[in-house]
Structure 1
Amino acid sequence: MSNDKSTPANAPSSNFLRGIIEHDLAAGTHVRPGLPQVITRFPPEPNGYLHVGHAKSICVNFGLARDFAGRCHLRFDDTNPEKEDTEYVDTIIDSVKWLGFDWKQSDAEHLYYASDYFEQLYTMAEYLIVNGHAYVDSQSAEDMQKNRGNFGTPGTNSPFRSRPAEESLALFRAMRAGQFKDGEHILRAKISEDAMASPNMNMRDPAIYRIRHAHHHRTGDAWCIYPMYDYTHPISDALENITHSLCTLEFQDHRPFYDWLLATLTPGGFFAQPVPRQFEFARLNVTYVVTSKRKLRQLVDQGIVSGWDDPRMPTIVGLRRRGYTPESIQLFCDRIGVSKADSWIDMSILEGALRDDLDPKAPRATAVLRPLKLIIDNFPEGESVECTSPVHPHFPERGVRTFPITRELWIEQDDFMEVPSKGYFRFFPPNGDTPGSRVRLRHGYVVECTGYDKDASGAVTAVHVTYFEDSKSGTEGSNNYKVKGNIHWVSAATALAAEVRLYDRLFTEAQPDAGGKDFLAALNPNALEVVNAYLEPGMSAAVADQRFQFERHGYFVADRIDSQPGKPVFNRVTTLKDSWAK
């Protein structure tokens, strides 16, 4: 957990979860010797990479524990061995730490795995069987599904529901011993006599153990039966002395089983009191992304993106490589708040938080993304004049950066028009008695356009200008020149040639997979453009993960994978303003 000891009074925003915790603190609900009164947990399944939706849960659970002087556990729900891997464990640990949180308190590390509790979970399952609260069901999967009913039809009791406890216990032990095939038997909870008529489908004798002859990434082949999530989760919470089990709204209908299970096991003396309580909040739905693990994996497997950390992906590793900062994601999560109502958050809110975080931090730099040669015909060949610009215009104490102006420069292609449109104040050539435009080269001289060159295909290859020697920015004579155009440039002699990747949103539709649509049909063909750019020479010192504002273009980061010493590759993090605004 973060070492920041913010108090609730200093918390960024109020919400109903804070109100619950404040009430419990005032009532002394969770006063226990040697334990904080607020213990939360973040319990991902290690079957994929975390995405932006998980970031909200991370910030809620770790943030509330931090703000109320408690602790938050990281616990892996590793009960599904066929889909889980240590690769996912490692990336989840790394992502939570990168977001600014950890799970240490008083030199104790609160990192747990559901598989730590396999033996205890099994013992509690036997307790439920012996006490008439669970039974082994031997129906086929098809019959079990049919007899479960649906939202409009009550379920039907399994023919094995009245199986004697001794018989169920013997079968359950045989299941553990590996004497049956996958799916041959299953252990189900017996909640009440009329449970199969419950309007809540999760209360219709839910499965709590199934047979899976599969290798587990931590326990190997020690087990061939594995507990279900709805069974494992509340027990894990109780064993870890969690006070507030915070989860998203899709688990609201699971809460009655959560409460029933803990209440039913409490007489067995398995847990300290009081047991945890579950509270639900709205999950994060962001426009222009998909967060389904299946669909994200499809993007990776089909080569639509380069991997889980592709900067167009909404995964935390993708956001990190794109150039997002932990602070910007935390700021975003604070701004959207916590509520009980599901809603869609526009991607522009996330991008706005990113800009607000980067603006005061990012040093400025000059980059020409689509270069066009500019030749100052009357500038002495082979000479250069040093120009300066602040590292950050609002923080003069950060110093200045220097770069030379020479006879040949690079400018942006759209800074020249053969026939200027109305209100165009950049470069255009003379036309009859009308002289060419006068433009200031930012931090340099005022120049006047005198002509241009074309190749055989008619494409403009160079713009010619003359400069006024007494017009250099910062000198007394510069005040004599009043021009409307002011453009950026880099010296062709000293510029750093670099690959720049212009990333945009991966989808063109706000909800690309809504209503069962084919989300691949909404892919943005312009989500990535790679350009060969020229940067001011000092950018050769940029290191991986270093962020800059390329003046006029947006915020960029040196790619953390492909950048090499002296040869950075840059990703566009975001534009200077919302280019998707209507």
Structure 2
Amino acid sequence: MVPTKTKYKNNFIHQVIKKDFKKNRKMHVKTRFPPDPNGYLHIGHAKSICLNFDIAKIYLGICNLRFDDTNPNKEHSKYMDSIKNDIAWLGFKWNQDIKYTSMYFNIIYYYALELIKKKLAYVDQLTKEEIKQYRGTLTQPGKNSPYRNQTVQENMFLFKQMQLGKIPEGKACLRAKIDMKSSFMVMRDPVLYRIKFKEHHHTKKLWCIYPTYDFSHCISDAIEGITHSLCTLEFQDNKQLYNWILNHISIHHRPTQYEYSRLNIEYSILSKRKLQLLIQQNIVQRWDDPRLLTISGLRRKGYTAQSIRNFCNNIGVTKQNNLIEISALEACIRDELNKTAHRTMAILDPIEVIIYNIPNNFEEKINILNHPNNIKMGTRDITFNNKIYIERSDFQETPNKKYKRLTLGGSVKLKYAYNITARYIKKDKNNNIIKIFCTCNLKNKNNKRKNGIIHWITKTQCVKSRFMIYNNLFNTKNPENKKNLLPYINKNSIIKKYGFVHHSVLNNKQIQTYQFERIGYFYIDSILSKKNILTFNQTVSLKQNKKPSNT
């Protein structure tokens, strides 16, 4: 089939597929996304999802979702549910029914027997530690297991004993017989099957031996007719084993593996093992913590599916490993929310302002646009009276020429309203300012500002709110390179503030994302919000920070 005219970045994988089409115009492109259901998906998986599903769409092919469920010790149905939800949320639809590697256990077992009969596999009875010692190092070749030269009959018998559960876990495994002196460590008699007395989510107690990823993955690809098996560069050496297995069994189809660079983002980790460690250490509470770059964490933080797809498209697909700036991800959501987010007022660190020259019964309604550049998004009313809140950082007691907001004796313009002048202040016993007393001139609403412009909320239109401000979880640029992550945790990765948001947010419960004017973009956290207090997660600041915030 010929490709569609969909626009895409012309990366090397597309070049490969174009060449394949020249060789075979009848080729039907088939890709797959094969997650291991032992954790939640992250932004790196999103890159793989976009790549595999978009290629299938562009070339009028199909993309399978296949769970690599070969390790019953680590798999959990909740991970499968979250993976399906994340893929659908990103806007992709897999081909027909979901596939599972466990669907092919009978076939994979058959090919294991075939390798034994061809004297290309044997049952090893070395311990896990001994296998590691015998394998050698990158500079020293491995040595053969004493069980390597068992007869076909002996290996067939022992493998059957493994399958019947007659051999204890850890006492035997099936290994390929390749080359213990190979320069590729993965080719030094890799393990094909191991014993695990653990009930499987799909096959229940039918099996007590399970194929390894390397053995099952290439066979599953071949069974499904995958044409382009796409994976990240850490599997580059595994390609040797991928091809060896397919070349030595009697399976007809031959998929081809292509490797591309995995995604690495500054101040973040994407390893599921390390993410699990953060949860176990109570550094983060759950997989959907907004400080993590899991898809569920980004969604809870306020990222949209479109922004993540845009990011994956922008960074492209190459064979060169690099470290992507976190600002590249933030720019994608900022660009989108600048166009789509409703505007409102919020005060994160409030200080009360009393405008004492205005009567207590005075109120003025001011109608403003929900978006300054999109009248279709409607309007809202705000009320101005003599009791308002402003940000504490918008007042400074001592005048300063560089400070363009409210100072004692100085004036500032309230956005959409009037200029106010600070006349005197009230402090508590600890010398903290608790109230600012101001005057304003109601006769001239549209007068020119005397200083800066600040936002505000009338005291009678406030909704109590909690604001979660997120900084980088790590204070080192590339934490993936650190053996021990804990010393590099940013203790100020989350800052909680308590203030107010304009009550207009209660009028439309379908809207969850807002631009708090002059502050940033925020998303209502439905998990933490309660009846008496709303919780907002900061999605991103209004402008890109010159330096990453770690404090």
TM-score of the aligned structures, taking structure 1 as reference length: 0.90
Unaligned runs of 5+ in 1: 1-5, 32-36, 430-435, 473-477
The amino acid that maps onto 1:292 is S
1:513 deviation in Å? 4.4
Match of 1:96 in 2: 87
SS at match of 1:23: helix
Q: How does 1:27-176 map to 2 (within 5 A)?
A: 27-28=23-24, 31=27, 37-104=28-95, 108-109=96-97, 111-176=98-163
Change (3 A) 1:225 1:190: same
Partner of 1:22: 18
The CA deviation at 1:233 is 0.3
Q: AA paired with 2:227?
A: T
Q: Which amino acid is the alignment partner of residue 67 of structure 2?
A: F
Correspondence for 1:209: 193
Please, which of 513, 522, 547 is the counterpart of residue 556 of structure 1? 522
Shift of 1:425: 2.6
Which residue does the alignment assign to 1:437? 410
Question: For residues 436-515 of structure 1, what are the structure 2 equivalents within 5 Å?
Answer: 436-472=409-445, 478-479=446-447, 481-515=448-482
Q: Count residues with an aligned counterpart.
A: 547
Q: Deviations over 1:29-59 (max 9, x none)?
A: 763xxxxx11111111111121222121111
How far apart, in 1, do the equivalents of 2:283 and 2:510 lie?
Answer: 25
**1:18: how far off?**
0.8
State the alpha-carbon separation in 1 of the partners of residues 19 and 298 from structure 2.
Answer: 36
- How has the CA–CA distance of structure 1 residues 202 and 322 changed in structure 2, closer, same or farther, with 3 Å as cutoff? same
Q: Cα distance 1:428–1:463, how it changes in 2: closer, same or farther (>3 A)?
A: same
Q: Give 4+ residue runs of structure 1 displaced > 4 Å after superposition.
A: 6-9, 564-567
Instruction: Indicate the residue corresponding to 1:335 in structure 2.
Output: 314
**Cα distance change on mapping 1:230 and 1:383 into 2, 3 Å:** same
Q: 1:181 to 1:24 in 2, by over 3 A?
A: same
Matched, 1:532 2:498: yes
Alignment partner of 2:239: what SS?
helix
1:128-527 aligned within 5 A:
128-191=115-178, 195-265=179-249, 268=250, 270-271=251-252, 273=253, 275-429=254-408, 436-472=409-445, 478-479=446-447, 481-516=448-483, 518-527=484-493
Q: Secondary structure at the match of 1:157?
A: coil
User: C-alpha separation between the residues in 2 aligned to 1:544 and 1:311?
Assistant: 21
Query: Do the aligned partners of residues 9 and 484 (structure 1) sit closer, same or farther apart at CA in structure 2, a change above 3 Å counting?
Result: farther
Alignment counterpart, residue 576 of structure 1, candidates 530, 542, 545: 542
Q: Which amino acid aligns with 1:568?
A: L
Contact 1:545 1:560 in 2 (8 A): no
Contact kept, 8 Å, 1:247 with 1:281, in 2: the verdict is yes
CA distance in 1, matches of 2:210, 2:119: 21
Aligned-pair distance for 1:168? 1.0
The DSSP-based 3-state class of the residue aligned with 1:360 is: helix
Q: CA 1:560/1:580 → structure 2, altered by over 3 Å: closer, same or farther?
A: farther
* C-alpha distance in structure 2 between counterparts of 1:521 and 1:143, whole Å: 34
Instruction: Report the CA distance between 1:341 and its aligned residue.
Output: 1.1
Please state how far the C-alpha of 1:312 moved relative to its aligned partner. 1.0
SS in 2 for 1:49: coil
Provide closer, same or farther for how the CA distance between residues 49 and 462 of structure 1 changes in structure 2, counting only shifts above 3 A: same
The letter of the residue matching 1:296 is: L
Alignment partners' CA distance in 2, 1:7 and 1:232: 30
| In 2, Cα distance between equivalents of 1:544 and 1:462 | 36
**Contact kept in structure 1, 2:464 and 2:534, CA below 8 Å:** no
Change (3 A) 1:402 1:128: same
**Aligned AA (2:165):** G
* TM-score between both structures, scaled by the size of structure 2: 0.95
Shift of 1:237: 0.4
* Structure 1 counterpart SS, 2:396: coil
User: What is the alpha-carbon distance in structure 1 between the residues aligned to residue 107 and residue 546 of structure 2?
Assistant: 53
Residue 9 (structure 1) shift = 4.3
Counterpart position of 2:509: 543
> Which whole-Å CA distance do the structure 1 matches of 2:186 and 2:511 have between them?
46
User: In 1, are the aligned partners of 2:349 and 2:392 still within 8 Å (CA)?
Assistant: yes
Deviation at 1:263, TM superposition (A): 1.7
Q: Answer yes or no: is the 8 Å Cα contact 2:218–2:242 preserved in 1.
A: yes
- How far, CA to CA, are the matches of 1:559 and 1:507 in structure 2? 23
Which sits farther off after the overlay, 528-537 or 538-547? 538-547
Q: How many angstroms apart in 1 are the aligned matches of 2:25 and 2:220?
A: 20
**For the residues of structure 1 that align with 2:480 and 2:320, how far apart are their CA atoms?**
20
| 1:242 shift after superposition | 0.6
Moved more, 496-505 or 220-229: 496-505
Superposed CA deviations along residues 345-395 of structure 1, whole A, max 9, x for unmatched, are 111111111111211111111111110111111212123101122111121
Distance in 2 (alpha carbons) for counterparts of 1:408 and 1:444: 14
Note closer, same or farther for the CA distance 1:302–1:515 as it changes in structure 2 (3 Å cut).
closer
User: Judging changes above 3 Å, is the alpha-carbon distance between structure 1 residues 8 and 527 closer, same or farther for their aligned structure 2 residues?
Assistant: farther
Asked if 2 retains the 8 angstrom alpha-carbon contact of 1:544 and 1:559, the reply is no
Q: Does the 8 Å CA contact 1:542/1:566 hold for their aligned counterparts?
A: no
Of the structure 1 ranges 239-248 and 57-66, higher mean CA displacement relative to structure 2 is found in: 57-66
Tell me the secondary structure at the aligned position of residue 196 of structure 1.
Answer: coil
Asked whether the 8 Å contact 2:4–2:60 carries over to 1, the reply is: no
Native 8 Å contact 1:452 1:464 kept in 2: yes
Counterpart Cα distance in 2 of 1:465 and 1:141: 76
- Asked if structure 1 preserves the Cα contact closer than 8 Å seen for 2:413 and 2:449, the reply is no
Q: Is the 8 A contact 1:543 1:563 kept in 2?
A: no
Supply the distance in 2 between the matched residues of 1:522 and 1:305 (Cα, whole angstroms): 14
Structure 1 CA distance for aligned equivalents of residues 329 and 47 of structure 2? 12
CA contact (8 A) 1:541 1:565 kept: no
What is the aligned-residue identity percentage?
40
Please report how far the alpha carbon of residue 560 of structure 1 lies from its aligned counterpart in structure 2 after TM superposition. Answer: 2.9
- Give the Cα separation in 1 of the matches to 2:350 and 2:120: 74
The one-character-per-residue Cα deviations of 1:422-460 (angstroms, maximum 9, x if unpaired) are 22232222xxxxxx2222111111222222212222111
CA distance in 2, matches of 1:493, 1:418: 26
Aligned-partner SS, 1:401: strand
